[in-house]
């Protein structure tokens, strides 16, 4: 599989955020369609239009950019995947994608950038019973 192979494919994305002590602080789930992918710019996913987090400032579906690694992209089983908390609702996505995101600097002062390291989960995700 190459980066160009995933363009126009649907994906369900799981993100787990960890603090400096490697404690889980947040989990997020997104879904959308890959609209662009290359080594330099990463993988651009146009998010589903449901929910405020999936809208850009112009009211159009937001673009979420993932690192260009395909090591955490796995063919998804057929099913209906829903998460009412994040308003994710996707049927039969092409791929399941999971990343662990680790904070690499202590809490910065307001207005300063916090640094994060993205680590792909290279084991296939375990999913519940799809409907």
Buried residues in 48-59 as b, exposed as e (16+ CB within 10 A) = beeeeebeeeee
Asked if residue 128 belongs to a domain, the reply is no
Quote the domain boundaries for residue 41: 3-120
Asked if residue 114 belongs to a domain, the reply is yes
Asked if residue 105 belongs to a domain, the reply is yes
| The predicted structure's pLDDT at residue 57 | 65
Q: What are 85's two structure tokens?
A: 């908390």
| The predicted structure's pLDDT at residue 35 | 98
Q: What are 64's two structure tokens?
A: 């979420």
d(CA 124, CA 122): 6
Asked if residue 126 belongs to a domain, the reply is no
State the Cα angle at 74 between 3 and 55, rounded to 5°: 70
Asked if residue 16 belongs to a domain, the reply is yes
Asked if residue 80 belongs to a domain, the reply is yes
| The predicted structure's pLDDT at residue 102 | 95
User: In a 3-state reduction of DSSP, which class is residue 4?
Assistant: helix
Asked if residue 78 belongs to a domain, the reply is yes
Q: What is the mean pLDDT of each run of 10 residues along the chain (131 residues)?
A: 97 95 94 97 88 60 95 96 87 97 78 80 76 46
| The predicted structure's pLDDT at residue 61 | 82
Global pTM value: 0.84
| The predicted structure's pLDDT at residue 52 | 47
Instruction: Say how many residues make up the chain.
Output: 131
Determine whether 106 is exposed, middle or buried from the number of CB atoms within 10 Å of its CB (0-12, 13-18, 19+). Answer: exposed
Query: What is each CA distance from 116 to 10, 106, 119, in whole angstroms?
Result: 25, 11, 10
Asked if residue 131 belongs to a domain, the reply is no
| The predicted structure's pLDDT at residue 53 | 52
* Domain count along the chain: 1
């Amino acid at each position: 599989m190459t980066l160009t192979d995933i363009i126009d494919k649907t994906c369900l994305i799981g993100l787990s955020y960890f603090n400096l002590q490697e404690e889980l602080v947040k989990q997020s789930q997104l879904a959308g369609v890959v609209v662009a992918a290359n080594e330099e710019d990463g993988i651009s996913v146009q998010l589903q239009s449901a929910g405020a987090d999936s809208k850009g400032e112009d009211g159009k579906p937001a673009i979420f950019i993932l690192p260009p690694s395909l090591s955490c992209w796995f063919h998804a089983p057929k099913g209906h995947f829903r998460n009412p908390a994040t308003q994710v609702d996707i049927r039969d996505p092409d791929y399941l994608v999971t990343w662990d995101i680790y904070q690499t600097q202590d809490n910065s002062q307001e207005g300063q950038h916090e640094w994060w390291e993205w680590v792909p989960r290279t084991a296939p995700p375990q999913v519940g019973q799809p409907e």
